[in-house]
Structures are given as C-alpha cells and as structure tokens.
Amino acid sequence: MIGPIPKTLLPDNASVDNDGMLLLAGVRVDSLVEKYGTPLFVYDEAHIRSRCQQAVRAFGEGVSYASKAFLCTAMARLAYEEGMHIDVATMGEAYVALEAGVPASHLVFHGNNKSETELQYAIDNQVGRIVIDSFDEIDRLENLLGDSGKEIQALIRVTPGIQASTHEYVTTGQNDSKFGFTVSTGWAEEAVERASSSSCINLLGIHAHIGSQVFSLDSFRKAAEVLANLSKHFELPELSVGGGLGVAYLEDEESLSIEEWGRTIKSVCDEAGVTARVTAEPGRAIVASAAITLYTVGTIKELEDIRTYVAVDGGMHDNPRPALYGSGYETFVPSRVLDDRTSRITLVGKHCESGDVIVSDGYVPEGLRVGDIVATPVTGAYGHSMGSNYNKVLRPAAVFVNGGSDRLVIRRETLSDLINTDMGIN
C-alpha cells in the first residue's frame, strides 16, 4: 500500500481544503481545470521566486537561470526580477529573454555549435557573456568581429574530465563529450591563450557543466577542483560551475538544497584560494518542483493480473522525459490528496505509440474513473520546454498561481497554430 503523495514533492505553497482538494497558492486545482482545461502546467510562482532567491544568496551576482528548463517571457522576467542572469543556449532562448525585457548584459550565451547568425545576434545585441565552446567558434567570432573595433565578453567552456553519475544523455563533463575544450589534452589552456590574445575577445573566465540531474556532491566537488586550479592558473576574474543540481521526482529520492550545493562549491574554491567571482547556472533546481501537470482521464483499460492502463489527454508531447531517459514520476489525484494511493496504474498518453508512457508505475486512490483529474508532480523543468506538436497535438497551457490568483503565462495552442508556418496548398 502506498500512502498519500508526500508534501515534499508538491510545490511549496500547496495546501488541502476540508474536502481533500489540492490548492496551490490558495487556488483550488479544480477551478483551474474548469477555467483552462487540461493538460495544464500549474506553477507556484512564489516557489520559483524562492528558489531564485536561494540561488542568488548561494552564489551572488552573476548566477544565471538556465532557461532551457522552462522559458516564456513571464519566467524570464521573474528570474530577472529576482536578480538572476539568464543562460540561453540558442538565439531563440535569447530572443524570448530579450522580449521579456531582460537586459542583454544579463544574458549568458551557450551552445556547442552556435551558428554565424546566432553569434551575430549575440554581438548585435551585446549579450553579457558568450561561452566559447570550440576553436571553430573562436575563428567564427574573429571573422565576424574582424576589425570592427568591437569586443565581446567571453568565458571558455572546459571539459574537466569528470564522469557525473546521471543518465548518459545528460552527462557532459567527461572527456568523451561534444562540449567544450578538454582540460587533459591541453586544449583548455590553448583556448584560453588564443582567446586572451584575440583583439576582439575580452576573456573573463572559465566555465564547465558536468551534467544534469546530478545528486553527488562529490562530482561537483571534483569538477570545482579542476576549475579552481585552472582559474588560479590563468588568473581570470570569473568562474562558472554550470548547472546540474539534481531534484527529487520520486518518493524515495532526496535532493540537495541550492544552499548546500553553493556552499560546497564555494568551499572548494575558497580552499584553493580562488579569487574569481564564482557563479553557477541552475535550471531544474529553480523550476522542477514548482509545477504539477493536470490531466483528464479518458480511458481505463484493466488487464487483469497484468496492469491497468489509464490514458490521459497528454503524453510524450508535454513530457517526453520518461520516453527519452526512462525518467520516473509519481501520480496522484488532486481531489483526493490525503487518500492512500492503493491502486497501481500505468499512466499513458494519447499518442500512437506504446512508448508514450508518462508514468509506468503510478499509484492513485481506489476507484479512479473516466473524467477524473490525475496529476504528476515535479514537472516544472524540461516538460513544457521539451514539448512538441507530435501527432499535431496542441501544446498545453501554463499558468502561474500566486496569493490566491492565477495568470495564464502560456496559452493553449489552437488548431490554427498548427498551420502557422505551413505555406498552404498552392
């Protein structure tokens, strides 16, 4: 038997009314369903703000929100208001942040293969930092800037040779990686020298990102040691340890706080005598547990002694993580949050493939029926942002709730959105 959904997996401002109905920031979840329909991402705005504040407290000026985790103009604006800079990995992410009124000086531009167009966009907008990832990129920047007299501010992304223990698709610090300049081959050093001697690059520091959904402080410690040594060696004023702090998705998982993560990194750097400004760029840790996704049950198929398939109106288009990485999630019924979850289900979506599983082992209270609302917690990161229009499904809406009110931050797509880029039949 499985008990009620643990409070630790719900957004900070979750509460339950006398009927056992979930409220987020004082807003009843059923009223949100009525107003906006399902599937629906519901974000607890104060929860996100508090994580941004924790990041700023832990790292100080320059800490960035990795916008790939979840981005819309309201989100970019919120992170900026809370004192964060914004990590963007493409021109598209930069565009959204700029549209939100984030000053270009607060953008940190990433990417292992930034196109000329993207670099030109970064130059024209005078983004705060370009994180250089390859020798080809140095060539490209020099070609673009030429004798213009313009100078960009940059960090060099290094590959520290650390194998973080997480899904292989999201490890990036090991030597066998498409990202960055390998430290052990001397490329990192060569890149720093080239960038420092370039007349159009103002090299401010070094950067590394060892992977995502990392739970081991030891991996972060080891990477920080490599970075600390390099930083001292080159005497550059900035050092960024990237993102990657793991988040608990399941009942039996436990995550580190942003504060513990920051403290560990700072202490490694302090012990090594680093004088550079030490920053980071968390994404998941800022938004993942701030949101839940609400779905409506459409069909229930009970295969006796095998499993019960509960199909909902979402699927791999709003959360591809289970299909891509085998990621696990919990399930619960928001109108019965306090009930024991005694019934085992497999939560599936509406796409035409068997891999369209949202939660392979979920638990809900007995007696789930068609038309009921089922929720998955901790869906604030890499759900909406990795969503798609596969099967020409309409991408869901996202709302922020705060202090008893709600505001739509991303509207649900409509059918006409599906042919926005379609050139027609003539």
Q: Are 273 and 314 in contact (CB under 8 A)?
A: no
The distance of closest approach from Cβ of residue 347 to ligand LLP in the complex, given in angstroms and rounded to an integer, is: 18
Measured from the CB atom, is 68 or 341 closer to ligand LLP? 68
Nearest Cα residue to 155 out of 219, 121, 111, 221 = 111
- With vertex at residue 410, the alpha carbon angle to CA 39 and CA 26, rounded to the nearest 5 degrees, is 70
What minimum distance in Å lies between the beta carbon of 285 and ligand LLP? 6
Give the nearer residue to ligand LLP in terms of CB position, either 245 or 310.
245
What lies within 8 Å, CB to CB, of 92 at 6+ separation is: none
The residue type of 36 is: Y
> Which residues of the shown chain bind ligand LLP in the complex (CB under 6 A)?
66, 68-69, 87, 110, 170, 209, 212-213, 242-245, 281-285, 321, 325, 382, 386
- What is the DSSP secondary structure assignment for residue 126, as one 8-state letter? T
Locate tokens 């987020």: which residue? 24
State the nearest-atom distance from the C-beta of 209 to ligand LLP, in Å.
Answer: 4
Burial class of 425 by CB neighbour count within 10 A (0 to 12, 13 to 18, 19+)? exposed
Minimum CB–partner distance for residue 382 and ligand LLP (Å): 3
Distance CA 205, CA 192 (A): 9
How far apart are CB 423 and ligand LLP at their closest, in Å? 31
Query: Is the CB of residue 245 less than 8 Å from the CB of residue 214?
Result: yes
Q: Identify whether the C-beta of residue 327 lies closer than 8 Å to the C-beta of residue 302.
A: no
Phi-psi region of 125 (alpha: psi -120 to 50; beta: other; left: phi over 0): alpha
- CB count, 10 Å around CB of 182? 18
CA 121 to chain centre: 23
Give the residue with the Cβ less far from ligand LLP, 155 or 294. 155
Annotated catalytic residue 352? yes
Least distance from C-beta 324 to ligand LLP, angstroms?
A: 7
DSSP letters, 250-313, are STT-----HHHHHHHHHHHHHHTT--SEEE---SHHHHGGGEEEEEEEEEEEEETTTEEEEEES
Query: Judged by CB, which is closer to ligand LLP: 34, or 168?
Result: 168
Cis upstream peptide for 4 (omega within 30°): no
Please say which residue, 152 or 158, places its beta carbon nearer to ligand LLP.
158
**From the CB of 287, what's the least distance to ligand LLP, in Å?**
8
In the chain, the amino acid numbered 151 is: E
What is the 3-state composition of the chain as percent helix, strand, coil, each rounded to the nearest 5? Answer: 35, 25, 40
Closest-CA residue to 407 (of 104, 36, 96): 36
Cα 426 to Cα 284, 416, 418, 422, 423: the distances in Å are 44, 18, 18, 11, 8
Q: Rounded to the nearest whole angstrom, what is the least distance from the CB of residue 169 to ligand LLP in the complex?
A: 7
Query: Which positions are annotated as active-site residues?
Result: 352
